[in-house]
Structure 1
Amino acid sequence: MTLLDNRQLLEEKDILISDYSEMTPDPQGALFFWLGNASLLVYNVVINAIDIYIHLSHRKSVGNDLARAYNFPCSLIALVLCFIKIPNQKILFIISLLVLFFDLLAFPLLIIIPMSESVVYWGTIAAITVSGVFSSIIMSGSFAVSTQFADETAGFISAGNGLCGILAAVARIITKGLFSSESQLKISSIVYFALAALTILGTLIFFILKLRNPDISNRFIFNSYQKENTAFISQIFTTLKSIWLLWIAEALTYFITLIIFPGYVCSGPEGPLKSWTPVLITTVFCIFDFIGRFVASKFIWPSLNMSPLASVFRIIFIPLEIISIQKIVNFREPWFTLALQIPFALTNGYVGTILMIYGSNHPDLDSEKKKLAGYLMTFAINVGIIIAMFLTFILPKPSI
């Protein structure tokens, strides 16, 4: 074999390696993990501080109020993003992360600056509403962009969604433990929300540094799905035709979770745990939700066609919680609710993640439709949440 032949073989090998690299892009797990974390961090930080807001507002139902204020705009934006074509996702992500950073700084200001109870309440509602808009942009965009990387990338986003709950829960336990007296509430709030704001800032810096890689940066630029709106709408229906069952199952998964968590389960009997009860309930949920999401990013079962059944089986958690919290049967609250959070959260994280992975990477869809499927599956989450938010109004008041 001549030197020329050897050189030709090496060139062909390089081309094959290059082609393979393009076909199997790096999942960029760390990047999407932290974007997933950022997309739900503000909500989790506020919900894990529910003890603070119950104390400040003297409203036992404040958890439901905060959840509605966040999820209504979040759902609306998720729907809008299914129809609006935004080519440059990079700029959108940077703006959204900046807004979330400054929004997190607003929460402690509402607590430490002397103002009326009503102003604190409505100011907090306004701040979490803003976060719902920009959190939705990051979450929907992350799942859409993830389709341009490896299939497992969506799993990293979902695991990041779970991590933010743990970070918020751990931070709240530490700050509540260190600054436990009512007089130290302001210090506790400043430290707690500052830690969350620094996490968002770190994610923003990490994201900008990652964009220095042209291969990553280019994948955050979308071409228009179609030139004509009629063709684009047709593409939406074509995509839904492939994923409709997964879409419904994803909506059902989050409906089951959000109709009772956090508002209903955190407003039940406190028992001997007193003000620690809602903190521990959300902490247990966040830990096991993260475990479920993490496992789903590594191991997927059941199959695509059978996975919707897993969502249906979760319905059992709703009557179990109502029976216990309403004291129809004495299951010894709050211990029963604390224990039930383990399977409840595990299945929420696991089932929600595998459905998202299957839906946004459906084998019947091409690359462009997978982007759209990412937006549609994210909207499914919000549909489930929004229906749950409306139905929380008809839930019975917990027996204290």
Structure 2
Amino acid sequence: MMAPVQGSVNGAVVHFDEDYTPDESEEDDRLIPGVDTATDHGACERLDESQAPKDSFNIVYIIFFILGMCSLLPWNMFITANQYFSYKLRNTTSNYTAMLDESTPLQMMFESYFAVAAMVPNILIMLLNLALQHRISLQVRVVVPLIGMMGLFIVTTILTRINTDEWQTEFFIICICSIVLINAFGGVFQGSIFGVAGVLPKRYMQAIMSGQGMGGILPSLLSIISIAASHTEAESAFIYFLCAVACMAVTLFAFLVLPRMKYASFYLNRHSELTKSKRIEDLESTESFEKVKHHQRPPFFEIFWKIKIPALMILLIFAETIALFPGTISSIGAIDRSNKNWANDYFTPVMCFLTFNLMDFTGRSLSVIQWPTEKNMILLTILSVLRLGFFPLFALCNIHPTNRSFNVVFNNDAYPFVFNVLFGFSNGYLGSLVMIYGPKFVDLKHSETAGVMMALFLSGGLAIGSVISVVFVKII
């Protein structure tokens, strides 16, 4: 019988066998389609919960919610500032108007270009993060990207106070470069937090997914409030982007608090031991899981093969979403123009951004229901494929009223609202279920890598969707 090893990190006492190696039964404690392991898996999860300290006041859940919110906030802040960028890229030889029939080529296409600039580097960085996550400490992979994104948003905020009418092209290039860098930082940050959540019980992955939903709602609300509270697009954008800087600061503080939570330390220090990075008793009193490097290379292909179905589903779901949102949906104009203030200033922020993000958040929050279950991936696959039907539905709405190549079939403003409700909800609910299930198909010691890999496929879907978005907008 092996001698037990006891360690204490941040006040949490954890016991391990010194030469611990998972036995055969533990190696099989994974979710395999077609094999009923739910009972054993659930027992293991209950055992973990019974041994772990309590998540007092749900503080760890709230921290993961905040981390999830910030993981999508940078991208959503850019795409939701639709009116600001339309103003900056307007035809400066005539009086500015929000009417679509006066849109310049850059005004019509900037959202699709932004999507490509965001998603392509994001997936490349995700690949790099997957390859190096076992060699770079969690603290570095989270703190450095947050500081980098905060600095770039400070630059973006300053640009709102500068007149760029004489150098619109240069301004557009600066914006593209900022988006590339912000999403490169965001790729590392997002992959890291998904990896961490994969180690904890399922509800913490759900916390990140719900937080991402709030990361869409918050910019939508800030956009509407800043438009109502200011007289010019530049003033509105200044308030708007300044709020983004504040959100980054709050997120950084939340992450720095996480290692002090005994509940988080229990799971993550145990994971560090199982990955053979360092024995718990070797951790210095000032060192915990967020500073530990995992030098053992994970079996990437083996992990992918176990999570291939949820990985491919998350890729499909988010490819469908970014292909239509925001590029296509934000191009839908109001048919009823009796109230010009509503039609020009508020229709797109409400119909496109607020509606989608509210329903996306609702879907992510309801994913605690977890139906279909992880044993019914076939039904999840069918539901994900059915979302392709939104392409013709949105294409037949009032997209680009004076430049469209299709006749308007759904000639009432209620139609895009209804379609977007279903579109946003299905994205949030199905995407959350797949992300929650993915890391649970593998052993605990590989769950962080599985979480990072799921985030990689999510980013891959966004990258593919961004390219489809450019093509689809040009076609219609």
Q: What TM-score bracket applies, with the shorter chain setting the length?
A: 0.7 to 0.9
Partner of 1:7: none
Aligned 8 A contact 2:71 2:186 in 1: yes
Residue 160 of structure 1: aligned partner: 211
Is 1:256 aligned to residue 320 of structure 2?
yes
Q: Alpha-carbon deviation of 1:113?
A: 1.5
Residue of structure 2 aligned with 1:142, choices 193, 201, 222: 193
- Residue 32 of structure 1: CA displacement? 0.7
User: Structure 1 residues 39-48 or 185-194, which shifts more?
Assistant: 185-194
The answer for the alignment partner of 2:252 in structure 1 is 204
Amino acid at match of 2:459: N
* Secondary structure of residue in 2 paired with 1:348: helix
In structure 1, C-alpha distance between the alignment counterparts of 2:462 and 2:473, rounded to whole Å: 19
Q: Which amino acid aligns with 2:358?
A: I
Please say if 1:277 is aligned against 2:340. Answer: no
Distance in structure 1 (CA, Å) of the matches to 2:391 and 2:415: 13
Amino acid at match of 2:354: T
1:219-368 maps to which residues of 2 (within 5 A)?
A: 219-221=289-291, 223-224=293-294, 226=296, 232=298, 235-271=299-335, 272=337, 273-280=343-350, 281-296=352-367, 298-304=368-374, 305-306=376-377, 307-324=380-397, 325=399, 327-332=406-411, 334-362=413-441, 365-368=442-445
Deviation at 1:19, TM superposition (A): 7.3
Q: Which deviates more, 265-274 or 55-64? A: 265-274
Is residue 136 of structure 2 the alignment partner of residue 72 of structure 1?
no
Q: Does the 8 Å contact 1:93/1:138 carry over to 2?
A: yes
| Offset of residue 127 of structure 1 | 1.3
Between 104-113 and 281-290, report the one with greater CA deviation.
Answer: 104-113
Cα distance, 1:223 vs structure 2: 5.0
Check 1:392–1:206 CA distance in 2 against 1; reply closer, same or farther (3 A cut): closer
Q: Alignment partner of 2:396: what SS?
A: helix
Q: Answer yes or no: is the 8 Å Cα contact 1:25–1:150 preserved in 2.
A: no
Question: Separation in 2 of the partners of 1:261 and 1:346?
Answer: 13
Paired residues of 2:220 and 2:353 also in contact (CA < 8 A)? yes
Taking structure 1 as reference, are residues 397 and 175 closer, same or farther at Cα in structure 2, changes over 3 Å only?
A: same
Shift of 1:225: 6.1
Larger helix proportion, structure 1 or 2? 1
Q: State how far apart, in whole Å, the 2-side matches of 1:82 and 1:25 are.
A: 31
The 1:376–1:188 alpha-carbon spacing in structure 2 relative to 1, beyond 3 Å, is same
Question: After alignment, is 19-28 or 352-361 more displaced?
Answer: 19-28
Could you tell me how far apart the structure 2 residues matched to 1:263 and 1:128 are? 16
Q: Which residue type is aligned with residue 353 of structure 1?
A: S
2:450 paired residue number = 373
Give the structure-2-normalised TM-score. 0.73
Alpha-carbon RMSD across the aligned residues, in angstroms, is: 2.4
Counting aligned pairs with the same residue, the percent is 23
Change (3 A) 1:128 1:34: same
- What residue in structure 2 maps to residue 33 of structure 1? 65
State how far apart, in whole Å, the 2-side matches of 1:301 and 1:225 are: 37
Kept in 1: contact 2:303–2:450 (CA 8 A)? yes
Residue in 1 that maps onto 2:144: 95
**What is the DSSP-based 3-state SS (H/G/I as helix, E as strand, rest coil) of the residue aligned with 1:112?**
coil
Offset of 1:314 from its aligned partner?
A: 1.2
Question: Relative to 1, partners in 2 of residues 1:75 and 1:334: Cα closer, same or farther, differing over 3 Å?
Answer: farther
CA distance in 1, matches of 2:108, 2:300: 42
Contact 1:143–1:360 (CA<8 Å) still a contact in 2?
no
Structure 1: any 5+ residue segments left out of the alignment? 1-13
The answer to whether residue 470 in structure 2 is matched with residue 393 in structure 1 is yes
Pairs aligned (count): 373
Match of 1:191 among 199, 216, 239: 239
User: Structure 1 residues 19 and 357, CA, compared in 2 at 3 Å: closer, same or farther?
Assistant: closer
1:109 aligns with 2:147: no
Q: CA deviation at 1:114?
A: 2.5
Ranges in structure 2 where 5+ consecutive residues have no aligned partner: 1-13, 16-45, 91-106, 266-287, 338-342
Change (3 A) 1:60 1:369: same
In the alignment, what sits opposite 2:42?
A: none
Q: Which moved more, 1:278-287 or 1:326-335?
A: 326-335
Per mean C-alpha deviation after superposition, the further-off stretch among 161-170 and 335-344 is: 335-344
Give the distance between the partners of 2:290 and 2:475, measured in 1 at CA: 46
1:19-68 deviation line (CA, Å, top 9, x unaligned): 76546874821111100111111111111111111121131211111111
Tell me, yes or no, if the aligned pair for 1:48 and 1:283 is still in contact at 8 Å: no
In structure 2, the partner of 1:9 is none
Distance 1:193 1:83 in 2: 33
Answer whether contact 1:75 1:136 (CA < 8 A) is retained. yes
Distance 1:396 1:147, change over 3 A: closer
Q: Equivalents in 2 of 1:396, 1:200: separation in Å?
A: 32
TM-score (norm 1): 0.87
User: Are residues 392 and 55 of structure 1, via their aligned partners in 2, closer, same or farther at CA, if it must alter by over 3 Å?
Assistant: same
